[in-house]
Homo-oligomer: A and B are copies of this chain.
């Protein structure tokens, strides 16, 4: 293949830029091009479609005390003194959480937390941070797990707690307009009054802003899809303070690039979401739950595969492993005692006769695939009771803590559906061999599962290695390093292994285009500067 050379190349000036940091720019001009000289870090070649880590523009933040104090005064002008906090506890709370797998370094704290109340205020705050080159970390529910809101570069935390309103419910259009600090549980409580619901169901306490950020999902994803399928439109404040609305309110559109979906899952690195228009759907009139225990994960998965193959449109299908079921029993998390075996939880919705028929089909399949028990609910109370075990998974592992120094590491991966039993079995074996306790629960219809791993400081390295191998296993099975939690800081460096360098370089190109100063949620999703020696785990 011919590369370069030829007539066209002669005509095109070759421009290769080198930029300096905080020093005047020197430029050499030649007949065919122009060089910026300074540090030897080149910026992205202007004609290429990707930005390698080597080419990336390093962040050039200004986080001197003088600059941050001046920003504080600017913010006070915009939102009032009472809505800008430098309180120590506030700063701590906005640095990390007990349930995050990332341990914040001592300097990873915001200088201040600002609480805006409108899109316009967020835009004005962002313009100031842009002018002053101050990094910004967005914060809503604070329930993310992989270090998503760790302010690795200090700067400003924008907490959306004053933007927690449901702005409009369009019942006949089946959509609702909300602010970023609306929790999905509160939203559903309100929607229920109108016979409606919003399916994405991540961890308790999660709010719309963060749910957009992580592209979350939950037990309803098998039937209803993830956050990506339930957002119609976003209002976003970009890195330079520009406000955009990604779409209007129709349920379908083919007009232009799908910016809505670009922001979903971007973990606050491309813009700050200040409003979302969400699809909602009528709450099913009838619902039922069935629970079946199996002799092995493989048998349980075989059952689900056959149910799906039969075209039974179950509304949810979850798996809990034997250890997880034991935790629920030991913690006395539910009223009943369960068989300590791999257990499938089915949810059915539809019309009453339709549900009855589905249950009958599933019951037969469970029996054919070595199911050891099959129970289905009669009425709402029994629905709740049967589903309660699934709901108590996390809390029951938390209850197993041996003492106060024990922590819980919740993480997830996803693989093609048929590979789920293999990866669960291998991960279970690895956990047992390393003397750790972990419950496993999986969205089995999506090939996605969580480990809820108990560990203390002395077990941290072992736990890290177990998680590392689980992630590696998922990638090697053509899966993903995270099905619904996002990469945050902890899984960022796995992305090139999952997707290849050029795909990550394309993401970096987009990041640099929309946030040229690397202000937004620094260091998440893609690196903008090379890791220090030893910082990245060997693959």
User: Contacts A9-B131, A238-B506 hold; do A255 and B481 have CB atoms under 8 A apart?
Assistant: yes
Could you tell me if A516 and B127 are in contact, using CB atoms closer than 8 angstroms?
A: no
Is there a chain B Cβ closer than 8 Å to A539's Cβ? no
Residues 1-41 (chain A) with a chain B CB within 8 angstroms: 1-9, 11-13, 15, 22, 24-27, 29, 31-34, 36
Residue-wise, chain A 334-364 has the 8 Å CB interface mask toward B (1 for contact) of: 0000000000000001111110111001000
**A450 close to B (CB within 8 Å):** no
Number of residues in A with C-beta < 8 Å to the partner? 153
A482 touches B50 (CB 8 A): no
Is A6 touching B70 in the complex (CB atoms < 8 A)?
yes
Interface membership of A206, Cβ < 8 A: no
Partner of A309, one of B47, B195, B313, B509: B195
What would be 24 A-B contacts, judged by CB atoms less than 8 Å apart?
A1-B124, A2-B131, A7-B62, A8-B134, A25-B29, A25-B34, A48-B516, A50-B238, A225-B225, A229-B229, A244-B503, A248-B480, A249-B478, A250-B447, A251-B416, A254-B265, A254-B480, A256-B504, A257-B262, A258-B261, A258-B264, A259-B506, A261-B262, A262-B510
CB distance from A261 to the nearest CB of B (A): 4
Q: Does A154 contact B (CB under 8 A)?
A: no
Q: Is A448 an interface residue (CB 8 A)?
A: yes
The smallest C-beta distance from A328 to any residue of chain B, in angstroms, reads 25
With a CB–CB cut-off of 8 A, which chain B residues contact A245? 499-500, 503
Q: Who on chain B is nearest to A413 by CB?
A: B250
Stretch from A107-115, A211-219, A380-388, A424-432 contacting the other chain: A211-219
Q: Are A49 and B240 in contact (CB under 8 A)?
A: yes
Q: Knowing A34-B25, A253-B414 touch, does A247 contact B480 (C-beta < 8 A)?
A: yes
Stretch at the interface among A282-290, A392-400, A451-459, A462-470: A282-290
A487, B12: Cα distance in complex, Å: 32
Given the complex, which residues of B lie within 8 Å of A259, measured CB to CB? 503, 506-507
